[in-house]
Amino acid sequence: SLPDLPKPNIAGLSITRDEFGVPHIEAKKRTDAMFGIGWAMAADRLFSMDVARHAGRGRITELVGYDPGLLRQDESVFEFSGYDEADLQAQYDDIVANYGGTGKLADKDITAFVAGINGFITRVNNGTYTLAVTNFIGGVVSPGAVVRVRVPQRLLTPVIAPGALFR
């Protein structure tokens, strides 16, 4: 049987799961749908999302501890990426400012998606739901563990492209 996962309390947003545990999100508003997608993704894979976030920023050793191989991986990411957090923020701001309605819609979608992730984290940290992985990560998800999505926006583009989700 599937675990009883918490659901957000947003009127007009429904997250149900089929017999395989696949979330089905129905919403009256696009922002609520994006919130629901973030919530469902966090419910299903918060730990792996946080690992990917740390690895993508060359900071995996902060999460899992010192390991010579992982430290070399972090250094390689820094060497390859060639930009820091300020540059990354500038790239994001450029998309919002220079791509008209599409840039503004992407920003609105990403903001709602991240709010869904953080809403789930808040529910976990309030003690109303326990993640199976919390024993591994110390019992609580770090406050603000997933505050914003900037690096993975390239991965989200096909998901939030016009018409990709909404008929």
CA atoms within 13 A on the CB side of 64: 19
Rounded Cα distance, 91 and 84, in Å: 11
Give the residue among 38, 157, 166 at the shortest CA–CA distance from 102.
157
User: What are the structure tokens assigned to 48, written together?
Assistant: 């792996």
pLDDT tens figures, 24-70: 999 999 999 999 999 999 888 888 888 888 888 888 898 888 899 99
pLDDT tens figures, 123-151: 887 876 766 554 344 444 443 433 344 44
At position 60, the amino acid (one-letter code) is: I
pLDDT at 135: 39
* Confidence class for position 11, pLDDT limits 50, 70, 90: very high
* Confidence class for position 86, pLDDT limits 50, 70, 90: confident
Bridge partners of residue 24, in order along the sequence: 16
Percent of the chain whose pLDDT exceeds 70:
74
